[in-house]
Amino acid sequence: MTSAAPIDLSRVHLIGIGGSGMSGVARILLDRGAVVTGSDVKDSRPVRALRAQGATIAVGHAAENLELAGAQPTAVVTSFAAIPKDNPELVAAAERGIPVIRRSDLLGELMEGYTQVLFAGTHGKTSTTSMAVVALQAAGEDPSFAIGGQLNRAGTNAHHGSGRIFVAEADESDASLLRYRPSVAVITNIEPDHLDYFGSAESYYQVFDDFADRLPDDGTLVVCLDDEATVRCGLRAKERGISVLGYGTADAAARHPEIPTGAVVSDESVEGHVTEAAVDLRVPGHEGTVAYHLALPGRHMVLNSAAALLSCAIAGADPRKLAEGLSSFTGVRRRFELRGEITAGEQTGTRVYDDYAHHPTEVYAVLSAARGKVESEGNGARVVVCFQPHLYSRTQAFAKEFADALSLADAAVVLDIFGAREAPVEGVDSRIITQHISDDTEVVYEPDFSRAPASVASVTAPGDVVITMGAGTVTMLADPILEALAGASAGTFADTGEEAE
């Protein structure tokens, strides 16, 4: 469906414009003066925000939506996974000879001419990309960016900046990252995923090798030394003549002297609600130790911050100012996002967080961070998770791994699977996870979504940390859980979250 001709971006129609990826490129197009139209299945918050910025958007898909601007668009943008080929707008575009391009093609075009700092990896892309953006802003840059989540401080997922740097996520789920030409390419970790698309773990690993090959002769590949698959990718790239720098803990750097080290986490400690970190930077012209603190818990977040620091320093930003930006980073929507805290009644001190984790490694990292947080506070609080598995194929492939990760929680309420684009698979439901969770964890299998808040409240004690977790509709439960907790205790809560999309 991709047109080989130069892309005319004067009038662009985006199908599924309210999605996290599509809404971002739409914002950049509007900032650059393009006429933007689009369609989506629902009238969501991103849709309303884009309308306020000047886009014309229809709810529902129909061929006539291509005329929303009064003239047909010069390009129609779609995504690989979310939009079926028989979508009436896609069909109409093909009949009229309108170029149809993928969202990744559009982003690649928008990034042309910039120093591109791109973040790839199975986990951590959104958080690391967001850290890089905030750090660069503190360093006096005005980077353009496109992120898969909404920056808490900026309240947006994309921006057309005046600076020379473009920061973006490089999504591997449908090999979109192979459509970009990074100046600095960061790989946070590699673990087989999206096997419904790739077919095998080998094909999944290969896409990251191919991504590294997209670097120019003067480009740099940045790899995490704490992840063995990423190290192997870096070694293969080095053998092909690509410049490679590693980042990670001191132990990991010592294990892999064959990869030049660009950043080493030399100190890490939890002090109250923040993590204090120090990183030894070894970039020519930027050697030395920089210290900063993070408002988000967990070693994975410290490693993400080191990746952001190193990549932005390679791009030419001042590390000291970058560190100031990292200290001011308040997180990304749905990445250990505090949605509210009970402030009165029997459940006083109970906090509810929301997180996007939907792979066993991500679930393990978030629950480890939460456990470290409650242990550092020393008040006897427990960790309660409300988890919604995402995709039947992923649940079937990783049921035991999900169970092992969820066993880190003191209590786990497990909802039915959110199938998204997949049809149900016979014999596959959330019970293939719950049957393997440790006996030390209180487990509730809750197939009734509407009863989930009450189920969570039934296993929650005062002061506990509660986390709604998953890539589906579970995010909608954070506020009802707060209400259930407050109602059960006849107390009140302070809602720090926002309307669920």
Q: Write down the pTM of the prediction.
A: 0.75
pLDDT at 493 (0 to 100): 42
User: pLDDT value at position 216?
Assistant: 96
Put residue 336 in one of left, alpha, beta given phi > 0 → left and psi -120 to 50 → alpha.
left
Is 156 annotated as contributing to ligand binding?
no
Mean pLDDT of 435-455: 94
- Range with the lowest mean pLDDT among 16-25, 102-111, 121-130, 273-282? 273-282
pLDDT above 50 for 22: yes
pLDDT at 356: 87
Is residue 251 within 8 Å of residue 258, measured between CB atoms?
no
Residue 198, pLDDT > 90, answer no
Is the pLDDT score of 418 beyond 90? yes
Measured at the CA of 210, the angle between CA 207 and CA 213, to 5 degrees, comes to 155
Question: Is 419 annotated among the ligand-binding residues?
Answer: no
Is the confidence at residue 160, as pLDDT, over 70? yes
The reply, when asked if residue 127 is annotated as ligand binding, is: yes
Q: What is the dihedral of CA 393, 399, 403, 405, to 10 degrees?
A: -60
419 class by beta-carbon count within 10 Å (0-12 exposed, 13-18 middle, 19+ buried): middle
Active site residue 422: no
Q: Which of 126, 460, 468, 475 is catalytic?
A: 126
Q: Within 10 Å of residue 251's Cβ, how many Cβ atoms?
A: 12
| 220 and 115 Cβ atoms separated by less than 8 Å | no
Beta bridge partners, 268, equal 277
Residue 201: Cβ within 10 Å count: 14
Would you place residue 60 in the very low, low, confident or very high pLDDT band (cuts 50, 70, 90)? very high
Q: Which of 78, 89, 125, 446 is catalytic?
A: 125
Helix (H, G, I), strand (E, B) or coil at 107: helix
pLDDT mean over 92-98: 95
Q: What is the mean pLDDT of residues 373-397?
A: 88
Given a cut of 50, whether residue 494 has pLDDT beyond it is no
Question: Is residue 244 within 8 Å of residue 223, measured between CB atoms?
Answer: yes
Does residue 123 have a known ligand-binding role? Answer: yes
pLDDT of residue 80: 64
Instruction: Quote the pLDDT of residue 157.
Output: 87
pLDDT confidence tier of residue 153, bands split at 50, 70 and 90 = low
At 453, the pLDDT band (50, 70, 90 cuts) reads very high
Judge whether 125 counts as a catalytic residue. Answer: yes
Q: Is 126 a catalytic residue?
A: yes
Please pick, among 169, 337, 341, 501, the residue that the annotation labels catalytic. 169
pLDDT in tens, 327-377: 988 776 777 788 888 887 777 889 999 998 888 988 988 898 888 888 877
* Domains of the chain in sequence order: 11-102 (3.40.50.720), 113-328 (3.40.1190.10), 337-486 (3.90.190.20)
The answer on whether 126 is annotated among ligand-binding residues is yes
| Structure confidence at residue 152 (pLDDT) | 59
Is 124 annotated in a binding site? The answer is: yes
